[in-house]
Structure formats: structure tokens, C-alpha cells
């Protein structure tokens, strides 16, 4: 007993390798500890008469330590197998720890209860479904995502679907729903071949340069000259209009600076009418002789 106190004073105040200190609590990491806390009464090193309950692979054992065997560390702990029956096991604990301090007996029984409860829960859980966590490698996932994007681009799903649907239409799986007869279909095909170039709508690709050239050569349009008057000239423009009816020719080619005439653009300013007068050479002076 004196030995215990000495041990405790050394361990408690000095260093104990099993002690774990947190802000509010002290824990004991010793595997034979009855409670997990670091107390004078529950320290397995500082009590020469001590008992615990531990389980190995689902079987519970009662471990006891007495002062008689303190000198033989190999034989120190006495191991008693507890029965599988809960009540019988409790009775066993009481019988083995008869005349032992109440604290240790109580704590042993409590510990044994807790152990049996968690063993029951473990057995229940194994019967239920267990979620399997599959680790994902980040690199692999990234690679897969990239491959998927590339596959999507290569797949051209919509085009494939359209092709398939058109084939089914051709084969006649739709019957007469769409009222497309074979002759009409052939005609449509022929027309398609003839007019494939001019139908720019059906070409979903962007215009190629060559086609641009062809179009520009084929369709030479003569567009009338767009004449827009400047903003500043708008009031003057009216005057000019009036004046042009008088014998003046004026070209009104004030550009607003917008440049080309776009087909959708509406003339913002009022329409100005222009009259042109050709300059004639002044009539030669003819001398007319008045005949008497």
C-alpha cells in the first residue's frame, strides 16, 4: 500500500506514459484500465489489487491482479473466461471479486455490460447493408472527364439521331403517317442534287472562301446609290431641295459616316428629291437683222 502511494505520487505529479491530458480531463491509455480516466482509484499501476473486464474476438474475460503476484509480472494478471450468458457472467464477476472493494466490482460489471452491448450492435450491423466506400483517384476522374468530353464531341449525337430517324423514315417503319410516297421522295432527291449549291440555308457549315468567290461572281448586283444627308444639313436639305428645283444642280452626297447601306436600314432623314439640270452652253448670240 505504501508502494502504491509512492507510485501514484510519482506518476501523478511526474510523468506517466499512459496519461493523456486534455483541457478538462485526464485519460489513461493503459489497456488494463477499468475506467479510461486517470484517477487514484482507477490507475492499474498505482493499485496493487485491481481487476478489469476485456474482450477478445467477442469473448469477454475478467482480469485480476493481486499484490501477492506483484513480483512476478509474467503471472501478474489472472484471466477468467466469462460465460456467454449475461446474468451468469455478472454472477461470475461477483463471485470472483468477492470481498474486493465495491468500486472495482461495480466498475467491472458496468464495463462488462457496455462490452456486451457493443458486441450485440456489431453483430446486428453485419447483418444489415454496409456502405462500401470506393476511393476515387483525382487524376483518374479528371482523365475520365476529359475523355468523356472528347467522346461527346466525336459522337455528334444529334446528327446520329437524325440520321437514324431519316433511315427509319426511308425504310417505312412509320408507315403512312408522314404522307411521303416513294416517287415524291425520289423527286425530292433529284431536286436536292440540282439545287444543292444554291440553297445556302441547308448548308450548316460556314461559307468557304471559294463559295464566296463563286457567289460574288455569279450574282453581280447593281444597287442604287444611297445618298444620305448629314444631320446638320437636314434643315438645309429642305432648302436645297427647294433650291434644286431652281436652276441649280447639286449633288448631295453627304455621308453620315456610316458607310455602307445595309438592307435593313431605314432612312432616318426624310427623302430628299433632287433634280438635275444639265448645263447647256449658253446660246450663241445671234445677230438678227431686222428687216425693214
Partner 1 sequence: MFYCVYSTFISTFYDLSKILGPPTSWFILSFPKMATPKKKKMPVQEEIQDVDNDSAMAVPSSAIPPPNISSIKNKMRRTHEFIKLKRQRRKKKELQKKRKRETEALGDEAPPKKVPKTIENMRVFDETMVDPQDEEVLHDEAHDEMASYFSRDTRPKVLITSSDRPRSTTTRFLKELGQCIPNSEIYYRRGLDIKKVITQALAKEFTDIIVINEDRRKPNGLLLCHLPDGPTAHFKISNVKLHDEIKRAPKSTEHYPEVILNNFNTRLGHTVGRMFAALFPHDPQFSGRQAVTFHNQRDFIFFRHHRYLFKNNKRVGLNELGPRFTLKLRSLQKGTFDSKFGEYEWVHKRHEMDTSRRKFFL
Q: Which residues bind partner 1 (CB under 8 A)?
A: 128-129, 140, 144-145, 147-148, 150-152, 154-155, 157-158, 160-162, 164-166, 168-169, 174-175, 177-178, 180, 184-185, 188-189, 192, 202
**Taking every pair of C-alpha atoms in the chain, what is the biggest distance, in angstroms?**
180
Identify which of residues 76 and 169 has a Cβ nearer to partner 1 in the complex: 169
Phi, psi (rounded to 5 degrees) for 79 = -110, 125
Print burial letters for 188-211: b (CB count within 10 Å at least 16), e (below 16).
Answer: eeeeeeeeeeeeeeeeeeeeeeee
**Closest CB 197 distance from partner 1, rounded Å:** 15
**Closest CB 220 distance from partner 1, rounded Å:** 23
Identify which of residues 168 and 239 has a Cβ nearer to partner 1 in the complex: 168
DSSP 11-61: HHHS--TTEEE-SS-EEE--TT-SSSB--STT-SSS-SSEEEEEEETTEEE
Task: Tell me which residue of 273, 274, 256 sits closest to 265, measured CA to CA.
Answer: 256
Identify which of residues 98 and 134 has a Cβ nearer to partner 1 in the complex: 134
**Closest CB 70 distance from partner 1, rounded Å:** 51
Cell readout for 101 is 472493494
**Closest CB 150 distance from partner 1, rounded Å:** 8
Identify which of residues 103 and 174 has a Cβ nearer to partner 1 in the complex: 174
Compute the distance between CA of residue 140 and CA of residue 134 in angstroms, rounded to an integer. 13
Identify which of residues 188 and 212 has a Cβ nearer to partner 1 in the complex: 188
**Closest CB 227 distance from partner 1, rounded Å:** 37
**Closest CB 118 distance from partner 1, rounded Å:** 21
- What lies within 8 Å, CB to CB, of 211 at 6+ separation is none
Identify which of residues 37 and 184 has a Cβ nearer to partner 1 in the complex: 184
Q: Which residues face 63 on adjacent strands?
A: 52, 79
Amino acid at each position: 500500500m505504501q508502494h502504491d502511494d509512492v507510485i501514484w505520487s510519482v506518476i501523478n505529479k511526474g510523468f506517466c506514459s499512459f496519461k493523456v491530458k486534455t483541457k478538462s480531463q485526464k485519460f489513461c491509455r493503459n489497456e488494463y484500465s477499468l475506467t479510461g480516466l486517470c484517477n487514484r482509484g482507477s490507475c492499474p499501476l498505482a493499485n496493487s489489487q485491481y481487476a478489469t473486464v476485456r474482450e477478445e474476438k467477442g469473448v469477454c474475460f475478467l482480469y485480476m491482479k493481486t499484490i501477492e503476484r506483484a513480483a512476478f509480472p509474467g503471472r501478474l494478471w489472472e484471466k477468467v473466461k466469462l460465460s456467454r450468458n449475461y446474468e451468469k457472467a455478472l454472477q461470475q464477476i461477483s463471485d470472483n471479486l468477492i470481498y474486493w472493494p465495491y468500486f472495482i466490482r461495480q466498475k467491472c460489471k458496468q464495463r462488462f455490460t457496455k462490452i456486451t452491448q457493443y458486441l450485440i450492435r456489431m453483430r446486428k450491423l453485419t447483418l444489415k447493408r454496409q456502405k462500401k466506400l470506393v476511393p476515387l483517384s483525382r487524376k483518374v476522374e479528371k482523365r475520365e472527364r476529359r475523355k468523356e468530353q472528347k467522346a461527346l464531341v466525336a459522337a455528334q449525337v444529334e446528327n446520329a439521331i437524325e440520321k437514324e430517324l431519316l433511315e427509319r423514315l426511308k425504310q417505312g417503319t412509320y408507315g403512312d403517317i408522314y404522307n411521303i410516297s416513294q416517287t415524291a421522295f425520289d423527286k425530292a432527291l433529284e431536286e436536292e442534287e440540282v439545287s444543292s449549291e444554291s440553297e445556302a440555308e441547308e448548308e450548316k457549315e460556314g461559307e468557304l472562301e471559294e463559295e464566296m468567290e463563286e457567289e460574288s461572281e455569279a450574282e453581280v448586283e447593281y444597287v442604287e446609290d444611297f445618298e444620305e444627308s448629314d444631320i446638320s444639313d437636314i434643315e438645309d436639305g429642305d432648302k436645297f431641295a427647294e433650291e434644286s428645283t431652281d436652276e441649280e444642280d447639286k449633288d448631295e452626297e453627304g455621308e453620315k459616316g456610316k458607310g455602307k447601306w445595309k438592307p435593313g436600314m431605314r432612312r432616318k432623314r426624310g427623302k430628299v428629291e433632287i433634280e438635275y439640270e444639265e448645263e447647256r452652253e449658253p446660246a450663241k448670240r445671234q445677230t438678227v437683222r431686222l428687216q425693214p
